[in-house]
A and B are shown apart, each in its own frame.
Chain A
Amino acid sequence: MPRKSAKRKPAARSESAARYPIASRPVMPGYGVSKSLKGLLDWSWARKRLTQSHNYVIVTVRPDGRPHAMGMHGLWFDNAFYFGTGKTTRKAKNLAANPYCVLINERLEELVIVEGTAELVRYDALPPALSEASKKKYGWRIDPRMGGVIFKVTPQVVFALPEKQFATAPTRWRF
């Protein structure tokens, strides 16, 4: 089970911490969000939505400081997000200069916001089961012959904002 803690100290980089991030309450002054930890969501709530989303949005930042957002397909797999893009797309160029990014799922009424960093991953370094997961979800395997590059987004902080339980359930997880 995820540990629930109000403290902001970073999670230890142990195997269990990587699987179960620490839950806490996000700082949202003025919105009537409870300060107590009662009602915090379980990490599986966010993981399910991140896994099942068909579309995602990736937000990166241009060298001049302007944010850039684009819709994507991708795979949430073992607490990281994998997506492919062309080598010279705006997001690939942005991430080469600044790896900070945000990933969100497609349901704003059950929004999951992932803040993290992205890195290029070689095809032969991808998790072996990823290609099969892609086939199952989108109908195609991950194939280097398709061209382009694969980025892996590693989460640092994840927010869940379920609209219908806004008073009690907004949750932040730190990795």
Chain B
Amino acid sequence: MQKLEAQFKDFQETNIHMFLFLSEILGRFVLDAENEPIGKLADLKVRLGELFPKVATLVVKKRRGKKLLELDWQEVQSLNAAVIRLKPGSAEKLRPLEVNPQEFLLREELLDKQVVDTFGAKIERVNDIHLLIVSQDLRIVHVDYGIRGILRRLGWLKGIDFFTNWLFAYQFEDKMISWKYIQPLLSDPTKQSLTLNVTSRKIHEIHPSDLADIIEELDQINRATVFRSLDLQTAAQTLEEVDPKLQLKLIESTSVEQVSDILEEMAPDEATDFLADLPEEKKQKLILTMENPSREAVEELLKFKEGTAGSIMTKDFLSVRKDKTIGDAIEEFRKTVYPLESISYIYVTDQDNRLVGVSTLRHLITCEKDATLGKLMNTHLIKVEPEDHVDTVTALFKKYKFMALPVVDKEDILKGIITLQDIMQSQF
């Protein structure tokens, strides 16, 4: 890293390339071409959009005068460790500061605030901002969230470095995140939605479980804006993961239509679990706005009492008539495999939809394609009824080590299945 040097850096040399920290240039004197001071650098305004955004203007505070003024970065002639010098005639171009929704101020809106590190899936606080001058532009490159950033701003960095080097031959490490992984969290909701749209790609790459942790840590305003910006599938997965107390708050800050769209995206049993915990009024409203087939599935599942097999079962299973061939079954599988929660078993039914046997995927692949399922299937069935208690089902899972169990009614009609995952979730 090239250090800021004492002599002036002239930006007219096109290949200049220099790193600096925001804390190092804030408060520097801004001089006109005749070396007369105009004011001090109060902030930098940045326009969003590029991967490493450019600094658009300098924000200058005159010595007497409360208002902040701005000036294009292109007007800077040179800078050194103490002053920023402008090009001839630039001083007249100072104008009152205006910040559009696509722009933000580094010191006012980013420094000392929280940001999401989408690579590490964590929230960090911005201690300093690392900038780079390259081909006459000043760009944000890193966010400093380490102890060095704090020490630099306190003015203790050199002293502490000297001390730790002398005593332990050690120096605190730089902790920086590249700007491309940073999702800023601005307090203004409209601006925040814009930054999320510009950079939404980043936040969607976070695993829903981590995203849920992040959302739990955010304050209420950012929580709502971040959640609303997620696509339906990510939103559905994230919603399943967050603390139940927060779920209600999140859906309250989102429109009923959007929530019901999110619910349709969930597996019916997950959606049912979610709905079951809501206040009655809210629940009815959401179910009414949902569309079929999700709505029917959810309504049916909601009929079962909590703690019964019916309340945790899922409708995502594959059943094939016993007179079909293995080739047919594999074809069915190919068509429907994606939304299925468990792909371990294929359930075999007779003409009246009664469950008569089960086969595994492994069996299907290894056997002759033109044999019928009726011949291949295993008829020793372990099954449960919707009214059975979850504990009974859990005991069966423990005993037989199945991946999934079929749920049938009194007439042996297959109503759903319970997967190992459903059991795990019901235990916590």
Q: Do they bind each other?
A: no
